[in-house]
Amino acid sequence: MSVQIRPFAEADRPACQAIAAAAALTSYGAHMPPEAFGPHEPLEPADQRAVAVIGGEVVGFIELVGAHVSNVFVAPAAQGQGVGGLMMAWAEAQTHGPLTLSVFTVNPNARRFYERLGFVVEGLKTIAFASGDHEVWRMRKDRAAPF
């Protein structure tokens, strides 16, 4: 399996929307209102967005706002194949200094994934999402600033 990480193109939008809905439903969707995960939900604003491609098919995407990973989604069929790790490596290559992200507390598998990549929990926060308030772990990976 060869995974390519490339910049997002507007033509990728429908695939990314469908991936976000499917991945969210399988990871934390049972704890959220189902209407929050339609395949046509708009993508969130991002400073940078990249997609993971296998055999010409978009199988995941990642979004950055500054040095904060705002979203990482991998299609359920492509999970466990290293796609998420490659996208996180892309995020690290795009940023300097500490890298942060948030993970819903109802998604402990994601927390373990990020901990394996060197992130640590720095606290809990309540955020508004899908017409409700939900707890997230705020996570951080400290990295040396470039000289």
The domain ranges of the chain are 3-141
Give the CATH H-level superfamily of domain 3-141.
Gcn5-related N-acetyltransferase (GNAT) (3.40.630.30)
Residue 134 confidence (pLDDT): 81
Strands 68-74 and 57-65, by their bridges, are antiparallel
Name the pLDDT band for 146 (thresholds 50, 70, 90).
Answer: low
Entry field: residues in the chain: 147
* pLDDT tens digits, 54-83: 999 999 999 999 999 999 999 999 999 999
Closest by CA position to 52, among listed 22, 78, 28: 78
pLDDT at 8 over 80: yes
Name the pLDDT band for 41 (thresholds 50, 70, 90).
Answer: confident
Contact indicator for 83, 93 with CB cutoff of 8 Å: no
Helix count (H) and strand count (E) of the chain?
3, 7
CA 58, CA 97: separation in Å to the nearest integer?
A: 29
